[in-house]
Amino acid sequence: MSLPFVTVQMNGVELDALLDSGAARTQLRDRSGLIVSRCAKRGSAGASGMSTSFVGTSTVSCRLGDVEVGTVEVDVVPMDLGAAPLE
């Protein structure tokens, strides 16, 4: 069984994204060009139980195929996306 990946545009940059209809939040890797607001949120644990720390949040424009989604607030995670304790 393959995972449902879709092509999206975030701030005009085309990305492959995992489509998770049950996700409570959207995560995006930290990369140059993102305006990241540091926040008190420290991280979360996904359905798999893997913990992820947050760099902060960002508001990005989002397009899915021909559909303009609009602005979306995303949790920004480290580029290496390594598992990190939520101490």
User: Residue 82 pLDDT > 80, yes or no?
Assistant: no
Residue-level pLDDT at 32: 63
**pLDDT value of residue 71:** 94
Q: Which residue ranges form the domains of the chain, and what is each CATH number?
A: 5-77 (2.40.70)
Distance CA 7, CA 5 (A): 7
Residue bearing the bigger pLDDT, 31 or 14: 14
Query: What is the DSSP code string of 23-66?
Result: -SS-EEE--TT--PBP-S--EEE-TT--EEE--EEEEEEEEETT
pTM beyond 0.85: the answer is no
pLDDT in tens, 15-71: 888 888 888 788 888 876 778 887 666 666 665 666 777 888 889 999 998 899 999
DSSP type of residue 53: E
Q: How many residues does the chain have?
A: 87
